[in-house]
């Protein structure tokens, strides 16, 4: 089918859909650096501000839009679906309403859209779709299900005027198992964590990195760190390189190379990659749109508006129901995290010491006791023993044994 990609970013949605056999006929993206990548990688026209796009092309069969999460994410402004950036989703609906008949719509955003302001964002989207004559389904999907060691959950909405979109999102389901002990040597696990999130959060993940993001708690896009316990203490803490990040999102390494030419290039590339749609998830949806497997009905139940579940379906004149599925629609062959860290560099001693200092001054408890001890030893080995001695001891017996996953 012919795809129009809106808020295309660096093309994650479109690469995945093309991998599934669809054709991109038009892209819209405001960011000039992202447009550089789209111009280079796609043979389709690329337009800028979506508000200047007057009409969808004739023959459009899929509209795909990973619309801005700026006003919806927990780390954002939380203005909601009416915010200046996230509210641009209404432009998508206006293009659909006043353009050619589009059979399929696919949207992506952060799970906080289900919770913020009592789920006003997802309610707004589903009501607009119903007024346009679409049946809809949504599901929170975890990127780890697709073999990528990144704990990234996103809401995908699929809507159709022709078929039940449940056949795309709910045709398969797996039990979340990441990582299964039998698949990896536990001693070779890596542990990803944010070191830039202040005193309120850490974002700890076992055998994965936490969600790659376009920004951080201190306002800059930056990589998470990874603890590799199997390495010598002086080499146990690393930061993924930008090409590692591209792999963790399912892109070919070097996908964003050449888009930025200033001294802050890697930081800007992190922003582009962190804001992207993970390619394998988009490909899975693309295959569902193409194959349209029969939907085996799964348990479903009514739910109270304002308490939106992780998966639901509805349509014009149909009361929405929750669908009992997990965030793992598939379970792809997993590769160890360390296999994705091909351009990683050591975590700077300043970053390590700063994180240890925050652990000491806050109530944060991160991972097993060995993590704090290893980080303190890392600081000592790199010439910062004072902060290491102050922060290496667990705060109490409870924090010594607690494991944040």
What residues are annotated to the active site?
Answer: 69
What strand order describes the sheet that includes 318-323?
A: 46-47, 23-28, 2-6, 62-65, 104-109, 153-160, 135-142, 311-315, 318-323, 300-302
Alpha carbons 151 and 110: distance in angstroms, whole number: 13
Neighbour-count burial for 131-158, b at 16+ CB within 10 Å, e otherwise: eeebbbbbbbbbbbbbebbbbbebbbbb
Alpha carbons 130 and 316: distance in angstroms, whole number: 5
Comparing C-alpha atoms, which of 210, 143, 211 is closest to residue 404?
210
């Amino acid at each position: 089918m012919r795809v129009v990609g809106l808020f295309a970013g660096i093309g994650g949605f479109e690469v995945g859909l093309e991998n599934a056999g669809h054709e991109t006929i038009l892209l819209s993206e405001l960011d000039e650096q992202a447009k550089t990548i789209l111009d280079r990688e796609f043979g389709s026209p690329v337009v800028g501000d979506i508000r200047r796009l007057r009409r969808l092309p004739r023959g459009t069969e899929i509209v795909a839009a990973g619309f801005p999460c700026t006003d919806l994410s927990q780390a954002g402004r939380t203005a909601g679906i009416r915010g200046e950036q996230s509210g641009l989703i209404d432009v998508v609906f206006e293009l659909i309403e006043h353009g050619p008949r589009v059979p399929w719509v696919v949207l992506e955003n952060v799970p906080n859209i289900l919770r913020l302001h009592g789920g006003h964002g997802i309610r707004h989207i589903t009501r607009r779709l119903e007024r346009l004559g679409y049946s809809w389904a949504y599901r929170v999907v975890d990127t780890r299900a697709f073999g990528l060691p990144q704990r990234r959950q996103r809401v995908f909405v699929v809507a159709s005027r022709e078929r039940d979109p449940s056949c795309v999102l709910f045709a398969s389901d797996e039990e979340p198992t990441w990582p299964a002990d039998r698949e990896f040597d536990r001693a070779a696990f890596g542990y990803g964590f944010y070191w830039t999130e202040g005193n309120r959060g850490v974002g700890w993940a076992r055998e994965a990195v936490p969600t790659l993001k376009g920004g951080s708690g201190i306002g800059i896009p930056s990589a998470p760190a990874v603890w590799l316990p199997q390495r010598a203490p002086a080499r146990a803490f690393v930061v993924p390189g930008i090409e590692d990040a591209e792999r963790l999102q399912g892109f070919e390494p070097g996908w964003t190379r050449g888009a930025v030419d200033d001294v802050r290039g890697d930081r800007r590339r992190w922003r582009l990659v962190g804001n992207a749609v993970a390619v394998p998830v988009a490909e899975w949806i693309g295959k569902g749109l193409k194959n349209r497997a029969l939907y085996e009905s799964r348990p479903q139940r009514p739910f109270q508006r304002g308490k939106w579940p992780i998966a639901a379906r509805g349509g014009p004149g149909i009361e929405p129901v929750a669908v009992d599925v997990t965030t793992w629609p598939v379970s792809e062959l997993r590769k160890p995290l360390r296999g994705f860290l091909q351009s990683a560099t050591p975590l700077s001693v300043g970053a390590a010491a700063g994180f240890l200092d925050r652990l000491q001054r806050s109530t944060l408890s991160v991972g097993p006791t060995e993590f704090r001890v290893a980080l303190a030893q890392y600081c000592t080995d790199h010439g910062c023993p004072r902060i290491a001695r102050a922060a290496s001891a667990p705060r109490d017996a409870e924090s010594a044994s607690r494991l944040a996953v």
